[in-house]
Amino acid sequence: VQLQASGGGLVQTGDSLRLSCTVSGRVSTPYALGWFRRAPGKEREFVSAINSRDGRAVYRDSIEGRFTISIDKSKNTALLRMNRVNPADTAVYYCALDWHGCSGYDCWVESEYDNWGQGTQVTVSS
The alpha carbon dihedral of 15, 86, 40, 19 has a sign of negative
Average of per-residue pLDDT across 44-51: 97
Phi, psi of 5 (to 5 degrees): -100, 140
Of the candidates 93, 100, 85, 50, the residue with the CA atom closest to the CA atom of residue 70: 50
Q: How confident is the model at residue 59 (pLDDT cuts 50, 70, 90)?
A: very high
pLDDT for the residue numbered 40: 94
